[in-house]
Amino acid sequence: MNRKKQIITLFLVLPLGWLLLQPRLWKSFFPPPKTEFFSTLKFSDALAEAGRQNRVVFVDFYTTWCPPCKEMDRSTWQDPAVIRLLTGRTIPLKIDAEKETELAAKYNVDAYPTLLLIKPDGSVLDRVVGYKNGENLVAIVEQSLAGFRFDAVESAVRSPQPLVTPSKQFNRSY
């Protein structure tokens, strides 16, 4: 009888011990750190502010149940290079897609996290879907912002000539 109890205890304790040692399980018990650099402006106010400051709006569409969103809260949004870039060159917003359903639908957000760079006129400059670490996100945002100039956008609207001429090297066969 004593041996039977030992075997039953072993089969109950081992799986429970294994579960408790899983880092993902532990992370779910602790709330992610605060991400205080995101603006508290409403979306429409952020677009207006971006126009005044000659910037774009950076939007992190997230949900409360999304594991990659929580991981970005723990890592990406704590990275000093990310914070410096987003606060220096954009108006950063963090929007819960389940609370702002109309806005999420307007920008076709159907996966999380979805990160958007939005021009002051409301059009999308760039879209990134899924988890990105700090280094990757900085590279993506810098590349997206590299060619963004309001005067270039306005002149493209007035002029029928493209901003970038097509390259013949894209016609190569491999």
Q: Which residues are catalytically annotated?
A: 66, 69
Q: Classify residue 144 as exposed, middle or buried by CB count within 10 Å of its CB (0-12, 13-18, 19+).
A: middle
Q: How many CA atoms lie within 13 A of 142 on its CB side?
A: 11
Structure tokens at 36: 């205080």
SS3 129: strand
Residue 78, CA distances (Å) to 86, 98, 138, 155, 167 in order: 12, 24, 13, 38, 40
| Separation of alpha carbons 133 and 135, rounded Å | 6
